[in-house]
Structure 1
Amino acid sequence: MVTAPRWIGPARLLAALAVTPLLRLAVHRHAVPPGSAPRIGCAACHAPIGLARPWPVLGPAARCGRCAARVGPPPGSVEAAVVGAAVLLLLAGPPAVELAAMAWWLGWAVPLAFVDAAVHRLPDRLTGPAALGTWLLLGVAGALGAGYPPWLRATAAGLGLGLLFATTSLLLGRRGFGLGDAKLAVGAGLLLGWYGWAVPVVGLLLAFALSAVAALGLLATGRVRWSSHLPFGPFLVLGTAAALALGQGGGPA
């Protein structure tokens, strides 16, 4: 058995932290009401914000350099989520291409969770690349040795989970899941389905359980009412991550 060098773990963590400015910027740009154009500047003073500009949206403080208004999610929140994703990848330790597929999906899922929590939407510009890149990387993993049965199963699980979510939207309207949830579910199903048929079911159950606990907590504290609609995207991301941590240890079944 070949043992990975000791620096691999810290290297993954540093690599994950290196992309947090990009993820924070993605949240800032896409956390806008449905039908609105992506935000390109500070919401308070309209100062332009981007990776090539010196405004400190890139740091954990997330303050506009011109007016000091908060930009994007709460300070340190995106960084904490990225550290959690990096720890998951570090503990999972799958083969390189599977690791790339997990990292790819999580890299899109983190900003998607923050956007959905802020404005109750999951933009196609983020869900589409998340699912497509995951599908392609898992296909490469199959071609390089894992075989095509896991990839075909992952494809079926992704499409099935997405169809399930879309059906509730079509049949139940606003009482069901949104089409954005369905598109996010495609990527989640792809990643979980790679490790067996039971893993997507576990991920979905965990997502429902987490959303139920959060809803009860918010109701108990009076922060929401029974008629309130909670975004499901963050819970689907958390449920998927938890299912990956629990179910992928033995590799694809």
Structure 2
Amino acid sequence: MAPPTRRPWHRAVTLLTLTPLLRYAVARHAVPPGTDRRTGCDACGAPIGPDRPWPALGPTARCAGCGARVGAPPASVELVAMAALAALLLARPPGVELVVAAWWLVFAVPLIFVDFAVHRLPDRLTWPAAAGTWLLLGGAALAGAGPAPWLRATAAGVGLALFFAASTLLLGARGFGIGDAKLALSAGTLLGWYGWSVSVLGLVLALTLSGVVALGLLLSGRARWSSHLPFGPYLVLGAIGALLLVW
């Protein structure tokens, strides 16, 4: 008898068991540049590390010791994670590509919140996202896909990262950040697996979305021309949008 097919709600339950770890990553890394990782509640110092991650970092986002908010807003990480899961379930990419996308999203989701909170994309999240994506796609190439898509993915990731890094060198604070270049390395690699046009589409979607949001903030008076807006969240959304169009 064939094993029963795993139902979508089983995957949802599995993801929900991982969301405290995603929330922990946000609280841990959402600190200003030059500051070490957060180890406890800012209000009372109660630890949020491995000795007590679950009660302090549940969906309520409240410290179990004093009730102060810790990290991302209540239920926000959980909702974004569920939206990412819904996108994967609707798209139904092949097995190996599903694993690669899931790996990337595990790091991309907390990076969204960290960038919105403190305008930084920490190495402890961007580098594992890039390395894991590249290695997993390399495994897919060895398993039968062949070297061509993997080499193209590698070139696309490096090319997109260099594009962002060049803007930093040429424009300084008015350009993209080095963190954006590191995130682009993994996003470009993931998109490049499906073709050069998909990489370009992801970049165009990210630039368009960020431009629309920036224009809306300017018109509403909530931002000025000199304001620096985080680009990481739009890069993640652009990559997801491009993937949904090709899966």
Please tell me the residue identity of whatever aligns with 1:86. Answer: L
Q: 2:238 corresponds to which residue? A: 239
Please tell me the residue identity of whatever aligns with 1:174. Answer: A
Q: How many residues align?
A: 246
Contact 2:160 2:188 in 1 (8 A): yes
Q: Structure 2 CA distance, aligned partners of 1:208 and 1:140?
A: 31
Q: 1:42 corresponds to which residue? A: 41
Which segments of 5 or more consecutive residues in structure 2 lack a partner in the other structure? none
Q: 2:184 corresponds to which residue? A: 185
Q: Structure 2 CA distance, aligned partners of 1:158 and 1:23?
A: 24
RMSD: 1.6
Contact 2:29 2:38 in 1 (8 A): yes
Q: Name the stretch that deviates more: 210-219 or 126-135.
A: 210-219
Give SS of 1:19's match. Answer: helix
Counterparts in 2 of 1:93 and 1:54: CA distance versus 1, 3 Å: closer
Q: Name the stretch that deviates more: 83-92 or 30-39.
A: 83-92
Q: Name the stretch that deviates more: 234-243 or 91-100.
A: 91-100
Q: Structure 2 CA distance, aligned partners of 1:104 and 1:156?
A: 20
Contact 2:26 2:114 in 1 (8 A): yes
Q: 1:142 corresponds to which residue? A: 141
Does residue 114 (structure 1) correspond to residue 113 (structure 2)? The answer is yes
Which segments of 5 or more consecutive residues in structure 1 lack a partner in the other structure? none
Contact 2:61 2:69 in 1 (8 A): yes
TM-score of the aligned structures, taking structure 2 as reference length: 0.95
Q: 1:217 corresponds to which residue? A: 216
Q: 1:230 corresponds to which residue? A: 229
Q: Structure 1 CA distance, aligned partners of 2:98 and 2:53?
A: 33
TM-score of the aligned structures, taking structure 1 as reference length: 0.93
Give SS of 1:141's match. Answer: helix
Q: Deviations over 1:86-112 (max 9, x none)?
A: 112112222222111100001000111
Q: Deviations over 1:122-162 (max 9, x none)?
A: 11111000000000000111111211111111000000000
Q: Percent identity?
A: 65
Q: Structure 2 CA distance, aligned partners of 1:150 and 1:199?
A: 12
Q: Deviations over 1:39-67 (max 9, x none)?
A: 00001111111343176333111101121
Please tell me the residue identity of whatever aligns with 2:90. Answer: L
